[in-house]
Structure 1
Amino acid sequence: MKDVNVADEVTRAAVDLFASQGYANTSVQQIVEAAGVTKGAMYHYFESKDDLLFAIYDRMLTLQKSRLDEIISHGGEVDEVLRTVCVDVIETSIDFLPEGTVFFRSMHMLTAPRQQEVTRRRRDYHDTFAALIERGQDQGLFRTDIPHPVLIAHFFSDVHYLSHWYSPEGPESKSLVASQITDLFLTSIRSTG
């Protein structure tokens, strides 16, 4: 196995095991056996199991925030930008369903400083998302009778719940589900005045 693939193989094995049997029930030995590497090889890239768990969060948070920033940088009408952002975060969440499962089941098992870092980065994403909603409100497109935190929780609760019910083998494609959830959300926040 090439050296550059070791970190990816270890991460993939960890995601599969953490998602199927839980972080606490997964040993480093199980991870390295599933990855087909030695403990020494794993420890070359990850200092600990906590380091490996954080790497899963870091990958998702970095990907979704960079995509959010890229979409916003292209500009456009705020309702179309928000639609694109919503579809993107749903599609990337579906692409990374096992990571999402790990994300929501195991965050409390990170060390306190890393939990704070994940929370800070999620808040940064949500603040950027909220700024889009606020722009739409300023333009009279979106309702103003519900506080931003409630609107954001409304959308992201659907995103966070995907790993509980969505199956890539199911009848709905990720694009269809992303479009449907986005339509429901945008209809619910559209100004009626």
Structure 2
Amino acid sequence: MSVAATEPTAGAGRRRAARGSARQRIVAAATELFARRGYGATSVQEIVAAAEVTKGALYHWFGSKSELLTSIYRELLAEQTQRLREIADGDAPVEERLHAAALDVVEHTAEHLAELTVWAKSAHLLDDEHAEATRRERRRYHDLFCDLVREGQQSGVVRTDVSATVITHTFLSALGNTHTWFRPGGPLSFAEVGHQLVALFVGGLRAPAGPPYRT
């Protein structure tokens, strides 16, 4: 397919076709280059060359390199937040929903490890409205997870001697920082490491009752 055929054109049908080809190639190329060379060292020209599109195509979908990076993460975060909301709103006992929520974080991260690792390594380089919007959306995910932990505490199935905020930050931070030490080709896959983190997390939720802390 020629480059011209993949660039955005008028009409809803054609726009959807472009989104499924040019846009996806841009995202894939940016993810690979950001992972290999770093966000700061990767130019827009290198991204469009690798994606085999023009700069006009990239700027049709993304207003800047910063928006491209945040868009990669925000789309995954929106998907993950929706999955967590469905789990949290389910009818299962709270301990089962907490376990399912923790497993979902691991499984979703393993499915999109390259994109999420790029974001974890590059987010600190951004300081604009896109980064701020992403932080707000991430906070909503954190609050939703924390609310589920609090529900478990109120139901008497989760320890109350540690605050729900500490519990939430500990688990999500541990998983979010796994990229700093995990090495492919080791004795465990990323998914196996994640499942072990879930085992530690779920196993550590119950403990002898102590003085409750504010959550």
State the TM-score, normalized to the length of structure 2.
Answer: 0.82
Partner Cα distance (1:185, 1:150) in 2: 12
Partner Cα distance (1:54, 1:120) in 2: 12
Q: 1:105 aligns with which of 115, 121, 127?
A: 121
Q: CA deviation at 1:191?
A: 3.1
Corresponding letter in the other structure for 1:42? L
Q: Which residue of structure 2 lines up, in the alignment, with residue 186 of structure 1?
A: 202
Q: 2:156 aligns with which of 133, 137, 140?
A: 140
Structure 1: segments with no counterpart, 5+ residues: none
Q: Which residue of structure 2 lines up, in the alignment, with residue 89 of structure 1?
A: 105
Q: CA deviation at 1:176?
A: 3.5
Partner Cα distance (2:89, 2:205) in 1: 23
- Matched pairs, number: 193
* Highest RCO, 1 vs 2 (Cα 8 Å, sep ≥ 6): 1
Partner Cα distance (1:20, 1:30) in 2: 12
Mapped pair 1:44 → 2:44: no
Q: 2:94 aligns with which of 55, 60, 78?
A: 78
Partner Cα distance (1:168, 1:70) in 2: 32
Q: CA deviation at 1:72?
A: 2.1
Partner Cα distance (2:62, 2:130) in 1: 15
Q: Which runs of 4+ in 1 moved over 6 A?
A: none
| Kept after mapping to 2: 8 A contact 1:90/1:178 | yes
Partner Cα distance (1:101, 1:38) in 2: 27
Instruction: Pick closer, same or farther for the CA change 1:175–1:57 going to 2, 3 Å.
Output: closer
| Kept after mapping to 2: 8 A contact 1:107/1:115 | yes
1:78-100 deviations in Å (ceiling 9; x for gaps)? 11101111011111111111112
Other structure's SS at 2:204 match: helix
Partner Cα distance (2:108, 2:186) in 1: 17
Q: Which residue of structure 2 lines up, in the alignment, with residue 119 of structure 1?
A: 135
| Kept after mapping to 2: 8 A contact 1:91/1:174 | no
Q: 1:32 aligns with which of 39, 48, 52?
A: 48
**Largest Rg, 1 or 2:** 2
| Kept after mapping to 2: 8 A contact 1:94/1:162 | no
Structure 2: segments with no counterpart, 5+ residues: 7-17, 210-215
Mapped pair 1:54 → 2:73: no
Corresponding letter in the other structure for 1:182? V
Q: Which residue of structure 2 lines up, in the alignment, with residue 10 of structure 1?
A: 26
Mapped pair 1:130 → 2:130: no
Percent of pairs with identical residues = 39
Other structure's SS at 1:189 match: coil
1:136-185 deviations in Å (ceiling 9; x for gaps)? 11111111111222211210122112323445655435553333211101
State the TM-score, normalized to the length of structure 1.
Answer: 0.90
- Structure whose residues are more often helix by fraction: 1
